[in-house]
Amino acid sequence: MNKNGEVAACIEQALDKFLQDLDGEMPRGVYDMVLGCVERPLIVRMLQFAEGNQTRAAEYLGINRNTLRKKMAQYNIQ
């Protein structure tokens, strides 16, 4: 299994557990919940990997630096 598959498998496993834990309740806002759970630590980790260089972190993420800055503000990342 390649690295992309490993990440996808982890997310799938977490979603399965989440759905089981609902105990019959209907899920709501799952898309935003998952994105929030994944996006913030992704951005933090890429900034660490880029040693705080926002331009490099944005390149690693494949997004514009202004988009990165907007997301940093959204998630209150210093």
* All domains in the chain, ordered by first residue: 25-78 (1.10.10.60)
Residue 69 and residue 31: Cα distance in Å, rounded?
A: 22
| Res 43: pLDDT | 98
- Amino acid (one-letter) located at 14: A
Which pLDDT score, from 0 to 100, does residue 61 have?
98
Predicted pLDDT at 3: 72
Segments of the chain scoring below 70 in pLDDT: 1
Residue 5: its pLDDT value, please? 86
Q: CA 50, CA 34: separation in Å to the nearest integer?
A: 24
Q: What is the pTM (predicted TM-score) of this model?
A: 0.79
